[in-house]
Amino acid sequence: MTMQKQIPTNIITGFLGSGKTTAILHLLKQKPPEETWAVLVNEFGEIGIDGALLDGALPDGVTKRDDIAIREVPGGCMCCVAGLPMQIGLNMLIARSKPDRLLIEPTGLGHPQEIINTLQGDYYNELLSLEAIVCLVDPRNLDQPHYLENDNFQDQIHLADVLVATKTDLCSDQHKTLFETFVTQLPEPSPKTDWITAGKLPEQWLRLPHQARQATNPKAHHSAKQTSHQHNQERPESLSILEGQSFVRKENKGQNHFSCGWLFDNSTLFSFDQLYSLILAQNAERFKAVVITDQGIKGFNMQDGVVSIIDLEDAMDSRLEMITNQPVDWNDLEKALLAAIV
């Protein structure tokens, strides 16, 4: 691929539930009208929800075909197996959209170091210009051992050029102080910091330069690869529903987390009320969905027992995915999902 100038590229990191997808949606609203932006989305689960959320909730006035291009790499860390899933998805995205800016959203369970290495390697060095790495952090997680002891959580923070506290309207004064103290303990060069609510990330942060930083757990990514990700790691695949079937189910596990997702065809109509109650009742790290319901197309996002819902303009199908930190009987959940179909 030959480009006349390097494409400004940003990595938007953050652990599960930090608000990456919401922040990217807000960034897309700030896109200069004359520019084309591309988004490469990576998810731990096999079904791929974030791409459908982004595609179905693009800002008013944005033409999907011309202004914003979105591509998914589902099924775990996209830089596994010499970076093939990432490189293939990235190459196709660049070749087709020729973007003026590229945003990369890795899975919340991913380690960013390999992505940085790939973007700064010989193949992409002349094509892409890595600018600020933005890490989103929910300050309420900074006193939770489950997060603080996770190597990927630590290095998402340590490798960031901009550290952004999210959901600050839900934070106590104690958590705000905790964030400020946490930042002062980070090694040089210190990241820039910001506080946001509702994912309102200022576009100006994207334009800061990237500075090299040292990961505290550089081997975490490699050890995770040895114990996780059962997906096809050679090329991004489009899921399809076989003739005679109404849905597809896919599972994944790794890094002490488990996921299961379902893809239903667009003729399947869910009861909004039943589905909302079902999602609210789950004990999960995350539950995301883009669903065609009897009250329209809805995007569901559940974390910490709170379900947020957005109205979507379009959806090719219905997708639901749950991530937990302990094994679950997915058959029981599947029965409940089928019972919620109108």
pLDDT in tens, 290-316: 999 999 999 998 877 788 898 988 888
Which strands make up the sheet holding 37-42, listed edge to edge?
68-73, 37-42, 101-105, 7-14, 128-137, 162-165, 192-195
Q: Are residues 66 and 170 in the same domain?
A: yes
Residue 59, preceding peptide bond in cis (omega within 30° of 0)? no
Domain boundary residue, one of 171, 197, 226: 226
Q: Are residues 103 and 152 in the same domain?
A: yes
pLDDT of residue 263: 94
From the list 322, 206, 330, the residue with the least C-alpha distance to 257 is 322
**Domain-embedded: residue 109:** yes
Q: Are residues 141 and 91 in the same domain?
A: yes
Q: Are residues 266 and 183 in the same domain?
A: no
Contact assessment for residue 321 and residue 251, using Cβ atoms and an 8 Å cutoff: no
Contact assessment for residue 251 and residue 194, using Cβ atoms and an 8 Å cutoff: no
**Domain-embedded: residue 236:** no
| Nearest-angstrom CA–CA distance, 149 and 142 | 10
Tokens of 338: 């089928």
Q: Residues with Cβ < 8 Å from 78, sequence gap 6 or more?
A: 40, 42, 85, 86, 89, 106, 107, 110, 115
**Domain-embedded: residue 119:** yes
Name residue 87's amino acid. Q
Count of domains for the chain: 2
Q: Residue written as tokens 């029965």? A: 335
Q: What is the pTM of this model?
A: 0.81
Residues of the chain predicted below pLDDT 70: 1-4, 56-66, 74-83, 218-239
**Domain-embedded: residue 251:** yes
Q: Are residues 301 and 201 in the same domain?
A: no
**Domain-embedded: residue 234:** no
| Nearest-angstrom CA–CA distance, 213 and 155 | 10
pLDDT digits (tens, 9 = 90+) for 245-259: 889 999 988 777 898
Tokens of 285: 């790290």
| Number of CB atoms found within 10 A of residue 173's CB | 7
Q: Are residues 69 and 153 in the same domain?
A: yes
Instruction: Give the chain's mean pLDDT.
Output: 85
pLDDT digits (tens, 9 = 90+) for 185-219: 999 999 999 999 989 999 999 999 999 998 887 66
Q: Residue written as tokens 């990330």? A: 201
Domain boundary residue, one of 169, 191, 226: 226
Q: Are residues 309 and 167 in the same domain?
A: no
> Which CATH number goes with the domain that contains 301?
3.30.1220.10
What is the DSSP-derived secondary structure letter of residue 149?
A: T
Q: Are residues 58 and 142 in the same domain?
A: yes
Q: Which domain holds residue 271?
A: 247-339
**Domain-embedded: residue 323:** yes
Q: Are residues 97 and 173 in the same domain?
A: yes
Q: Are residues 328 and 252 in the same domain?
A: yes
CA 185 to chain centroid: 27
Q: Are residues 202 and 253 in the same domain?
A: no
**Domain-embedded: residue 98:** yes
**Domain-embedded: residue 143:** yes
Q: Are residues 176 and 268 in the same domain?
A: no
